[in-house]
Structure 1
């Protein structure tokens, strides 16, 4: 199976509401600093899973544009 070479930006989660619930639960009872650490750890784990620098570069650019 080949890794995707471009970022998928169309809805792609099989259960988006379930994922959102899991994400919120993972942050429950954490301090702000711990919440930031959790986000950083999650980003690094998912980046490792994706593994393609081009896709990660595109994701970072899209995310940056979303908050700029």
Structure 2
């Protein structure tokens, strides 16, 4: 049984955050949403475990 890792696993979380912000710079809202969708699908494919992905979806939806 796979479980979703929710603890910080970044050596430098600020570096990733900056890269994410930089990737969205100068995009329209529509382009930014498309980029997010593509990124989600790429990372979901990399994870490849439906149980983990379902848990991630549940946690992401919680409180929205």
TM-score > 0.5, shorter chain as reference: yes
Q: Quick check: 1:47 aligned with 2:44?
A: yes
Unaligned stretches of 5+ in structure 2?
Answer: none
TM-score normalised by structure 2 residue count: 0.94
- SS of equivalent residue, structure 1 residue 13: coil
Size of the aligned set, in residue pairs, is 64
Q: Quote the Cα distance in structure 2 between the aligned partners of 1:65 and 1:26.
A: 26
Q: Which runs of 5+ in 1 are unaligned?
A: none
Displacement of 1:66: 4.0
Q: Calculate the TM-score normalised by the size of structure 1.
A: 0.89
